[in-house]
Amino acid sequence: MISQRGLVWIALVATGCFGNALARGGAEGWQSWSPRPEISPRFYVDPAGGRNGREALVIEANRNPATFGAWRKQFDGIAGGRIYHFTGYYRLEGISQPRRHVSARLEWLDAEGQRARPPEFARETTQTGEWK
């Protein structure tokens, strides 16, 4: 049963720089993640680097192809049987194949925090200025 929680991952799997605009709530609650410290990219919050001059979560790989990491945030209060809409924006620098290196992943968790079903991935993007 899907209940109470959802986990959103915004990931970078390569070189370059990734900025995610924060529409509401700012950077609060977002955590950086990497499977191992030696392949962790640089994570930081750019206070005016997002769309319309708002905050942006940034992942910077410094052209290291072994870099792997993500920003993630857990949202409580998700109820089964309801429809949710997720919108995210990103801007890339130094990445030639975005579909291979950037993804947004939604994980549905049960009340115990365990994965309730396979993750869902956002695949389609549209361009709005320099943001996708």
Asked whether the predicted pLDDT for residue 11 surpasses 70, the reply is no
Q: In this structure, what token pair is assigned to residue 88?
A: 């995210």
Predicted pLDDT at 12 = 39
H or E element that contains 4: strand 3-12
Mean of pLDDT over the chain: 74
Dihedral angle over CA of 32, 33, 34, 39, nearest 10: 0
**Mean pLDDT of the 50-58 span:** 81
Predicted pLDDT at 36 = 93
**Mean pLDDT of the 29-55 span:** 86
Beta carbons within 8 Å of 83's beta carbon, 6+ residues apart = none
| Beta strand spans in 17-115 (E) | 17-21, 31-33, 42-46, 56-60, 69-79, 90-93, 102-109
Lowest-pLDDT range of 21-25, 65-69, 76-80, 119-123: 21-25
Q: In this structure, what token pair is assigned to residue 25?
A: 């709530």
Predicted pLDDT at 24 = 53
